[in-house]
Amino acid sequence: MSANPIEPAATPPFLPFTRPTIDEATIAGVADVLRSGWITSGPNVKAFEAQLSARCGGRPVRAFNSGTCTMEIALRIAGVGAQPTDEVITTPLTWVSTANIVLDVGARPVFADIDPVTRNIDLDRVESAIGPNTRAIIPVDLTGLPVDRTRLHDIAGRHRLRVVEDAAQSFGSSWDGRAIGSFGDFVSFSFHANKNITTIEGGCLVLNDDAEAKLAEQYRLQGVVRSGHDGMDVERVGGKYNLTDVAARVGLGQLPRLAEFTERRRALARRYFDAFDADFLHDVDCRLPVADFVNSNWHMFQVILPEAHLARRSLQRADVMAALERRGIGTGVHYPALHLFSLYRRLGWKAGDFPHAEYAGRNTLTLPLFPTMTDADVDRVVEALQSVLRGA
């Protein structure tokens, strides 16, 4: 039977800005863990850590229940916060946890503005920000695009600083042919539900040696040290940060698909670049990300909206997001400039301190990107965004 010509076309399904891909074998594996009766930290966590270590060049890796506590623990292992004057340099354009953990250990975050092209921390400004109280640097690989590791570690080495890589978004990325996590100092990954692979919630910390790994284990679970069948001691204050076996089993199902996921993300990112009207982007000053198809894992695809163009039409980013939502397209904001949050304003920062981060924070828009998207989905997003910006 032919379709009724006057029947309206079906509304396309809502397209979120991200969606995890979890296969049936992993779901079945989780059910097996639940049936086993061992659902908190156990054999699956150990297996997950072993596979993570193999991907990180054999370095010690410990799994945790978030990619936030991992950075806090790295700072504690490094002794940051031992003195109330300790400072840690990081970017103002990141999820707020990156700076919050510096406050948590009793140190002070010092911000350095971003490079407006890569949107990662500007390493020239990092070096200028180093002072007598600087103890560490926390770079952030925004959207999975790595910060220049060669220069970063050169700066840290010359100034005898620890580095805690906030690689929450860059699992599967590389630098100069080497996987992020396989070299450097501390490396923190996140496996949150919106990351390239997920354990639903969770993360891991890549460490330098067995001594640091043992300290990480103590900080992970209340500072406890066990010996023999019944020996237990507590040497330091720890937290409750252990990953469950249920979550680890999800991670074990995700790890073998990392290369597949990364390749598809890169293909979708290429499609975005091909789909945008270059002349229109130039005319309205809408900026695409750096087209890196070697190092980046393409965790997100972000555009910088044309602030002046929108202002002439009395529009803001929220209006663009609402218009896309009405067209069945979800978007995100990653991230507002965190030094403008009330907490950090009370600590002395103000508008105008980091103009590049502030501009990006006002105008960044995260578009849908996840492995099960189709090329047609990308075309639909680009067509809708350009239509909105053109005023349709």
Name the one residue in this structure whose structure tokens are 């510096």.
102
124 contacts: CB under 8 Å, gap ≥ 6 = none
Alpha-helical regions (H) of 226-337: 245-254, 258-275, 278-284, 307-312, 317-326
Strands 108-111 and 87-90: parallel
Domain boundaries, the chain: 24-257, 258-390
Place of tokens 């189709």: 374
Q: Is the dihedral of CA 281, 282, 285, 290 positive or negative?
A: positive
Q: What is the mean pLDDT of each run of 10 residues along the chain (392 residues)?
A: 55 93 98 97 98 98 98 98 98 98 98 98 98 98 98 98 98 98 98 98 98 98 95 96 98 98 98 97 96 98 97 96 98 98 98 98 98 98 97 72
Amino acid at 384: A
Task: Give the integer Cα–Cα distance in Å for 296 and 286.
Answer: 21
Which of 125, 373, 162, 177 is closest to 294 using CA atoms? Answer: 177
Where is 104: in which H helix or E strand?
helix 97-104
Over residues 23-53, the pLDDT tens digits come to 999 999 999 999 999 999 999 999 999 999 9
Contact (CB, 8 A) for 138 and 93: no
Query: How far is C-alpha 1 from the chain's CA centre?
Result: 50
Tell me which DSSP letter residue 32 carries: H
Beta strands in 17-107 (DSSP E): 61-64, 87-90
How many C-beta atoms lie closer than 10 Å to residue 189's C-beta?
29
Residues recognised as catalytic = 195
Element (H or E) spanning 348, and its range?
Answer: none
Strand partners, 108: 87
Q: What local confidence, expressed as pLDDT, does residue 12 receive?
A: 86
Give the CATH fold of the 24-257 domain: Aspartate Aminotransferase; domain 2 (3.40.640)
Query: Strands 87-90 and 61-64: what pairing?
Result: unpaired
CA 323 to chain centre: 27
Cβ count near 261 (within 10 Å): 20
CATH number, domain 258-390, options 3.40.50.970, 3.40.50.720, 2.40.160.20, 3.90.1150.10: 3.90.1150.10
- pTM confidence score: 0.95
Q: What is the pLDDT of residues 208-220, one digit of tens each?
A: 999 999 999 999 9
pLDDT at 125: 98
CB 289 within 8 Å of CB 119: yes
Identify the pLDDT of residue 11.
75
The encoded tokens of residue 121 equal 């921390």
Q: CB within 8 A of 290, min separation 6: which ones? A: 117, 118, 145, 296
pLDDT at 1: 47
The neighbouring-strand residues paired with 109 are 88
d(CA 290, CA 284): 18
User: What is the rounded distance in angstroms from the CA atom of residue 376 to the CA atom of residue 166?
Assistant: 33
Gyration radius of the chain over CA positions? 22
How many alpha carbons fall within 13 Å on the CB side of residue 352?
A: 2
Q: What is the rounded distance in angstroms from the CA atom of residue 80 to the CA atom of residue 164?
A: 11
The 3-state DSSP composition of the chain as helix, strand, coil percent (nearest 5) reads 40, 15, 45
Unique residue bearing structure tokens 């050169």: 154
What CA–CA distance (Å, rounded) separates 130 from 248?
Answer: 39
In this structure, are residues 89 and 134 in contact, taking their beta carbons and an 8 Å threshold? yes
DSSP 148-185: -HHHHHHHHHHHT-EEEEE-TT-TT-EETTEETTSSSS
**How far, in Å, CA of 11 to CA of 361, rounded?**
32
Q: CA nearest 129: which of 93, 101, 154, 156?
A: 156
Q: What single-letter DSSP state applies at residue 203?
A: E
